[in-house]
Amino acid sequence: SQQGEEDPQALSIQEGENATMNCSYKTSINNLQWYRQNSGRGLVHLILIRSNEREKHSGRLRVTLDTSKKSSSLLITASRAADTASYFCATDAGPNFGNEKLTFGTGTRLTIIP
Amino acid sequence: GAVVSQHPSRVICKSGTSVKIECRSLDFQATTMFWYRQFPKQSLMLMATSNEGSKATYEQGVEKDKFLINHASLTLSTLTVTSAHPEDSSFYICSARQSLRDTQYFGPGTRLTVL
């Protein structure tokens, strides 16, 4: 299986704290993306980082990518109750630079305690 | 932004019946659509890749005769679960890709329950 793994599987923190999730994958990639999924809903795209990038920011999100270790991390700063959701990383390793098949990680269930 | 819709959002059917799920890109043309399956508290597993006007490419282990995919236009793909059984109960999610952009846009998902 090419599926990546994420840790922790579940994370509970107090509102206002920072949340860090990690993702590891197995093959070389073109890019890595993070998605959020609220319970029983579809996926919302959060951020994309290309294989030649090491860090990217978007609002309260910070993503890092270490291709030598085949790992990525997602940091959510100043967490809010609305951040409660499952977070998935997804890698794109298609032959063309672009969005070919995505392979999703196992996900982290984040719970923000008010 | 790019919006993808799915219909129905929830369906309950009897074992042995067929169910059709629609996936539409509302404000862009999608040359490629993807169908995923997600079991409770698990990750998304790609079932098939659908290109407009051509046959879908199925992932290993996915029965093409059971999960019929049609991508008849640049804004619509359908997944038909034929002769559904309780083990087909799952959350089915589609996504659509704009050919010149890097992001897949996901639909809200369809919860299928087979009794």
- Taking CA–CA distances from A46, the nearest residue in chain B reads B103
DSSP β-bridge partners for residue A13: A112
Give chain B positions within 8 Å (CB) of A45.
103-106
CA distances from A104 to A90, B24, B86, B91 (A): 4, 22, 25, 15
What's the rounded Cα separation, in Å, for the pair A92 and A21?
A: 19
Nearest beta carbon to residue A41 from set B44, B102, B109: B109
Rg (CA), chain A: 13
Query: What pLDDT, on a 0 to 100 scale, did the predictor assign at position A28?
Result: 87
Instruction: Examine the pLDDT at A3 and tell me if it is beyond 80.
Output: no
3-state DSSP assignment of residue B113? strand
Query: What pLDDT, on a 0 to 100 scale, did the predictor assign at position B109?
Result: 95
**Higher-confidence residue: B99 or A24?**
A24
pLDDT in tens, A29-38: 888 999 999 9
Instruction: Examine the pLDDT at A42 and tell me if it is beyond 90.
Output: no
pLDDT in tens, A75-113: 999 999 999 999 999 998 765 544 467 889 989 999 999
Half-sphere exposure of B109 (CA within 13 A, CB side): 21
What's the rounded Cα separation, in Å, for the pair A4 and A88?
A: 10
Using an 8 Å Cβ cutoff, are A4 and A101 in contact?
no
Give chain B positions within 8 Å (CB) of A106.
42-43
Below-50 pLDDT ranges, chain B? none
Q: Which residues have a Cβ under 8 Å from the Cβ of A68 and sit 6 or more positions away? A: none
Please answer yes or no on whether A88 and B103 come within 8 Å at the CB atom.
no
Query: What pLDDT, on a 0 to 100 scale, did the predictor assign at position A99?
Result: 45
Query: What pLDDT, on a 0 to 100 scale, did the predictor assign at position A1?
Result: 39
Query: What pLDDT, on a 0 to 100 scale, did the predictor assign at position A2?
Result: 43
Please answer yes or no on whether B103 and A45 come within 8 Å at the CB atom.
yes
Q: Is A98 on the interface with B (CB under 8 A)?
A: yes
Taking residues A19-27, what's their average pLDDT? 93
